[in-house]
Amino acid sequence: MTALCSASNALDVVSDSRRDAQSDCQSVVAALRDGATIELVAVIRIDDAGNIAWQPDGCMTEISDDWPDVLRVKNDNPSHGFLFKFDGFKKGRGIGWDTRLTTPLPGKLLKGFVSVTGKFPKVRSTDIRVGVLGEWGPWQPVEVDGSITSRVNVAGPSTALYTSIDSLNVMGKSKPLVAPNREEGSQPLASLAEYEVVAVDSQGQRHRRKGVGVWKDTQAPYFDLSKIDLSSFEFRLRPYTQWVEFKNVPLEAPVPDVEVGVTEL
């Protein structure tokens, strides 16, 4: 098994293939420029008869009690879970995922470990992209109906992202899903930035999402407004600065070689 680097700037990434001294198994780790690392620890096949797991090189492994639960949102029926471990990330630094993966709900993570899920029918391997996020931009006020009547001042590379959001799509009344709208045909926001939406009450207090639902095959936050005197919504964005790509991740064994690379944005 090999771990290969295919980055746009080779000085900004170290591709690591670490051999376990106790076995022939190897881990797959991407090292970022600042020393932080992202490791693909295991692939988990989700089955009603019981989940099983293997390392990226195909070595079978036990599902540890230290791993976070494989979580899913309503109407999702994933076939596989993927366990990652993050080391050396500074406070406030974030990660995100491509749109094919279902991310965990807030408060369900163990420190350093993240479990995500996806549906992959009739394929033996897949590519997984992990995004490294920059700083949050300012809060943009939005009317209750989702319209934007005045724009917040935004500096730097996030300016174009903020102006590309036409409105918020508010789906429902008492427990609405709320997601940003962009021009039809534009690049999906999920590949450019992470967003956060909050509900703001008449006293100016921000209320975070109650959970996550699915809208047009994409996750969107939902809010329980039954006890909130809603005055407005707000959203903020933070762009991706790097993408780490794990290629040929095995969905069954025997497996192909896994490649890992980092792209600077």
State residue 71's pLDDT score: 54
Q: What is the DSSP string of the chain?
A: -------SSGGGEEEEEEE-TTSS-EEEEEEETTS-EEEEEEEEE--TT--EEE-TTS-EE---TTSPP----TT---SEEEEEEEESPPTT-EEEE-TTEEPPPTT---TTEEEEEE--TT-SEEEEEEEEE----PPEEE-TTSB--SPPP--GGGHHHHHTEEEEEEE-SSS-EEEEEE-TTSPPGGGTEEEEEEEEETTS-EE--SEEEEETTEEEEE---TT--EEEEEEEEEEEEEEEEEEEEESSSS-PPPEEEEEE-
Q: Torsion angle, CA of 247/125/185/220, rounded to 10 degrees?
A: -100
Q: List the pLDDT tens digit at each of the 265 positions of the chain.
A: 333 322 222 223 334 444 443 456 778 999 998 889 999 999 998 888 888 899 888 888 888 887 877 655 444 688 898 999 999 888 777 888 876 776 654 434 446 788 888 888 888 899 999 988 888 999 999 999 999 999 999 988 789 999 999 999 999 888 999 999 987 777 888 888 989 999 999 999 999 999 888 766 667 889 999 989 999 999 999 999 899 999 989 898 655 567 777 777 7
Q: What is the pTM of this model?
A: 0.72
* Amino acid (one-letter) located at 19: R
Q: How many residues does the chain have?
A: 265
State residue 8's pLDDT score: 29
Q: Dig out the tokens for 140 from the structure.
A: 């943009």
* Residue 187: CB atoms within 10 Å: 10
